[in-house]
Amino acid sequence: MKIQKNHLEGLIALLLFGVFAVCLLIALLAGADAYNGLTTKDRIAYDSRVCGQYIATQVRQNDDMNSVSVTDFGDGNALSLAKEIEGNTYVTLIYSYDGYLMELFCAEGAQLAPEDGEKIMPISKFSLSMKGSRLEISYGNEGTQESETVMFLTLRSGEEAAS
């Protein structure tokens, strides 16, 4: 009788250990899934911020009189940032091509194709429009919760400094 009771106690202890292990595994899997969801949202938000800040920084660095414009380039439009360096005019074009935000730095009037630029980051939507000194930039990636971000920048190059 004593031997049967010891086996039964051992079996109950083993069963409790198994239940504990299963509960622990379920909690770990739920935590891993939550972590994966949070990191995905964080990456999407980061990509959106980086793209917007990259474009805003480029515009602010090149905000000189008549140096920021929207031009046709390839199959779409591009943000054109002109800069005079040692008497020659150079243009930085920021545009979307083949699923990427691209940048191309070249001499003004150079005949280059969209594929000649450098890949900056993946992007599926990118459009530009300019009304007066207000630049509207719309960008985003398909398949994300925030599929499109619209940013407005007002060029300051035409304003006089405050006294």
> Confidence band (pLDDT; 50, 70, 90) for 161?
very low
Higher-pLDDT residue of 147 and 140 is 140
pLDDT digits (tens, 9 = 90+) for 7-21: 788 888 889 999 999
Model pLDDT for residues 44-53, shown as the tens digit of each residue:
777 778 888 9
Q: Count Cα neighbours of 62 within 13 Å in the Cβ-side half-sphere.
A: 23
| Distant-in-sequence, close-in-space partners of 118: CB < 8 Å, separation ≥ 6 | 102, 103, 104
- Is pTM beyond 0.75? Reply is no
Phi-psi sector, 78: left (phi>0), alpha (psi -120 to 50), beta: beta
